[in-house]
Chain A
């Protein structure tokens, strides 16, 4: 007989024929769709993790197996049945193999060693070598298009499944007690349970079919697949700390969508009842989880809002306290400063030499203290928005020249050369001269001198039609990438800045940035890194 066919009409679109009960379509499509959606979601959440990739591979192998199963149900061609059936015999243990590697990586966070890989390869070798022979599939009965399995398909594959499940169980009992935290142990146990349930649900069709010869009944096994896929995904997500609430909502939508779509395609009322019942159970379970999550979310939001309000109150109280303390301390420091200045100037008569020396040191310390407290007060006022700015026209060039002139002795004392270059032009600017001088110009030039141990500091001034450009460039300690991020933040010290400049409050550049921004300008810092010097550039618009 040439090309005999099984006694039903050929399949349409590979998956449809009168030989396929509607329930088979439902069990297969729901299993593939749900498992793929879950695996792709986990993969998309973190495509770089090996676990997400292995999980996607596991579901993909399972999906190919399920598609082949649908083809087997629908086709009436013996050659297609024999080929698809053979591939299934290869793919089923492969699913177990991927599951083994997934759990191994989940527990050990690394790939198995060579011996384990050789063991797995040896397990698979008979299947791979004998797949095309009669040891796998012997013959085919035409009345129901059913292949007669050889010893490899009938016995050896089940042996491989059992061996791999035992390996997973062995890994779990050996490694779980060694995990550090209770939470990790719990998640690993859940994950192992989910994985083994996934594999058993997967094989249940073959087991039920083999034992009862009822291949319709065996389809119910596939209904369990989405549950176990979801369970595994939940463990992966929980372990990797992704957002679980979103996946629950997505699962509910997918389950409802597939359920309703299936109802439309079914004609037999009995099947409609089965599908509707399964959809109802799915909606109840996933809906319950979703509602629980939403409730928890609402509780958390209320809690966060209350904490935010409490934080705001504490913040305001601390701001007030800080401003009060700073103000008071500044008063005492100013009085002491005046006392030391009086001693030095001879207001209390001629003082002995040691006292004069002590008064001189005291005066320098007091000035530093006053500057520090003033910075903190200024930053606090800027934060509260209680700083008033004058808006007057002034000569920016004269301010720069004065600052450089004032700070030249400081640079000379450190053996640095402080150079100033000014391009020709008019540098009249409208703004708060005092604040720009103190917080921007003085601060930047002083910083350059302080953070330069040897070499030079170059101050430059130029303008174009739009803005004035002021810059300081030094051969100092430079700024690391890490420090660059905190440079203009409140109290943002560089990692080693206090080693070079013990008086640093960490507020100088924060205030400089605030003052520049109020004048609609920008301030930027450039540095190649540690020990390469740095450059600060200020742009202040002319209009």
Chain B
């Protein structure tokens, strides 16, 4: 079980930190616009 945990954490590190295999939803520009609208 301990070996599985180590393997799992390693794979997670590989996915997130090395190959960055996840989608990023860029919603920052929308906020800036709405802020500008408010101004």
Let me know if A78 and B24 touch, CB within 8 A: yes
Let me know if A140 and B9 touch, CB within 8 A: no
Among the 9-residue stretches A79-87, A294-302, A442-450, A522-530, the one with 4 or more Cβ atoms under 8 Å from chain B is: A79-87
Closest B residue to A80 by beta carbon equals: B17
Among the 9-residue stretches A39-47, A126-134, A344-352, the one with 4 or more Cβ atoms under 8 Å from chain B is: A126-134
Let me know if B8 and A142 touch, CB within 8 A: no
Report Cα–Cα, A80/B18, bound state, in Å. Answer: 10
Let me know if B16 and A83 touch, CB within 8 A: yes
Q: Which residues in A have their C-beta under 8 angstroms from that of B1?
A: 121, 124, 128
Report Cα–Cα, A137/B8, bound state, in Å. Answer: 14
CB distance from B32 to the nearest CB of A (A): 8
Identify which of residues 188-232 in chain A touch chain B, using a CB-to-CB cut-off of 8 Å: none
Interface string of B12-36 (1 = CB under 8 A from A): 1111110010111111101100000
Closest A residue to B11 by beta carbon equals: A132
Let me know if A142 and B20 touch, CB within 8 A: no
B39 part of interface (Cβ distance < 8 Å): no
Let me know if B27 and A87 touch, CB within 8 A: no
Identify which of residues 1-22 in chain A touch chain B, using a CB-to-CB cut-off of 8 Å: 1, 4, 6-7
**Which of A's residues lie within 8 Å of B, judged by CB?**
1, 4, 6-7, 78-80, 82-83, 86-87, 90, 121, 124-125, 128-129, 131-134, 137-143
Question: Which interface residue of B1, B8, B23, B31 has the most chain A CB atoms within 10 A?
Answer: B8
B12's contact among A4, A78, A86, by CB below 8 Å, is which?
A86
Let me know if B17 and A90 touch, CB within 8 A: no
Q: Which residues in A have their C-beta under 8 angstroms from that of B8?
A: 90, 128-129, 131-132
Report Cα–Cα, A142/B17, bound state, in Å. Answer: 16
Chain B interface helix/strand/loop/mixed: helix
Give 20 A-B contacts (CB < 8 Å), ordered by A residue.
A1-B24, A4-B26, A80-B17, A86-B16, A90-B5, A124-B1, A129-B4, A129-B8, A131-B12, A132-B14, A132-B16, A138-B22, A138-B23, A139-B23, A140-B22, A140-B24, A140-B25, A142-B24, A143-B27, A143-B28
CB distance from A146 to the nearest CB of B (A): 10
CB distance from A9 to the nearest CB of B (A): 14
Closest A residue to B12 by beta carbon equals: A132
Let me know if B26 and A1 touch, CB within 8 A: yes
Let me know if B25 and A139 touch, CB within 8 A: yes
**Which of B's residues lie within 8 Å of A, judged by CB?**
1, 4-5, 8-9, 11-17, 20, 22-28, 30-31
Closest B residue to A129 by beta carbon equals: B8
Known A79-B16, A87-B12; contact A142-B28, beta-carbon cutoff 8 A: yes
Let me know if B11 and A79 touch, CB within 8 A: no
Known A79-B20, A83-B17, A121-B1; contact A142-B25, beta-carbon cutoff 8 A: yes
Report Cα–Cα, A131/B7, bound state, in Å. Answer: 10
CB distance from B20 to the nearest CB of A (A): 5
Q: Which residues in B have their C-beta under 8 angstroms from that of A131?
A: 8-9, 11-12
Closest A residue to B25 by beta carbon equals: A141
Report Cα–Cα, A78/B13, bound state, in Å. Answer: 13
Q: Which residues in B have their C-beta under 8 angstroms from that of A125?
A: 4
Question: Which interface residue of A128, A137, A138 has the most chain B CB atoms within 10 A?
Answer: A128
CB distance from A139 to the nearest CB of B (A): 4
Let me know if A82 and B31 touch, CB within 8 A: no
CB distance from B9 to the nearest CB of A (A): 7
CB distance from B27 to the nearest CB of A (A): 5
Report Cα–Cα, A141/B20, bound state, in Å. Answer: 14
The 6 closest A-B pairs by CB, nearest first: A132-B11, A82-B16, A139-B23, A83-B16, A132-B12, A143-B27
Q: Which residues in B have their C-beta under 8 angstroms from that of A138?
A: 22-23
Report Cα–Cα, A79/B23, bound state, in Å. Answer: 10
Let me know if B27 and A4 touch, CB within 8 A: no
Let me know if A90 and B28 touch, CB within 8 A: no
Closest B residue to A139 by beta carbon equals: B23
Let me know if B22 and A139 touch, CB within 8 A: yes
Report Cα–Cα, A86/B20, bound state, in Å. Answer: 13
A83's contact among B12, B24, B28, by CB below 8 Å, is which?
B12
Known A139-B23, A140-B25; contact A83-B5, beta-carbon cutoff 8 A: no
